[in-house]
Amino acid sequence: MTMPPPAGLAPRRLPLVLGSTSPYRRELLARLRLDFSVDAPRVDETPRMGEAPAQLAQRLALEKAKDVASRHPGAVVIGADQVADLDGQPIGKPGRHDRAVAQLQAMRGRQVVFHTAVAVVRSDTGFAQGLLAQVAVTFRALADAEIEHYLRLEQPYDCAGSAKCETLGIALLERIDSDDPTALVGLPLIRTCALLRLAGIDPLVVPA
């Protein structure tokens, strides 16, 4: 039987851990006004032979959450991953300028699907579930000079597809279609909240 907290002590939520070092995901999760810590996952992110971009994102999100959960028994752990998809081929983080140029040149005038997966794991109960958000992004027919100007200002070399939509990258785009608005930035908060509720944390409910 669960005992109530002693008189005079505030109720406590389950510990929450974000299994990611991404500053974008930290900023997004902070919007839920939940206390959380951060632990970097130790996962090989190499795609498997024949693995589709959506499958890759889902697998890595769950593997990251499980890896971090193994070091935080009793905590609720969030893992996430994003893979950009152009004609069925994954587009990762460019890492450097010339690769970012090549990515944006390949995507201009085209539609790219960003597969953003989130997984939540709670090792003490065996809870482990994931959800996928898909964002269809249509890029403008960008001139080389526009691409160069954007990259010099933003340097989005740690962003899948080189498109940092929350700042100047929005000017690269014609259209964004998604049912989870923050998915393109790296963490679909609607789906994250759904999984957190199932695992035992509801951002809108004070713990009893």
Give me the active site residues, please: 81
Would you say 59 and 27 are in contact if contact means Cβ atoms under 8 Å apart? Answer: no
Single out the residue of 135, 90, 89, 141 nearest to residue 113, CA to CA. Answer: 135
What phi and psi, each to the nearest 5 degrees, are found at residue 67?
-60, -45
According to DSSP, the β-strands at 37-38 and 16-18 are: parallel
How far is Cα 18 from Cα 39, in angstroms, rounded to an integer? 6
Please choose, from the candidates 174, 150, 145, the residue with its C-alpha nearest in 3D space to the C-alpha of residue 162.
Answer: 150
By CB neighbour count within 10 A (0-12 exposed, 13-18 middle, 19+ buried), where does 48 fall?
exposed
Q: How far apart are CA 200 and CA 62, in angstroms?
A: 18
Question: Taking the chain, what is the end-to-end CA distance rounded to the nearest angstrom?
Answer: 14
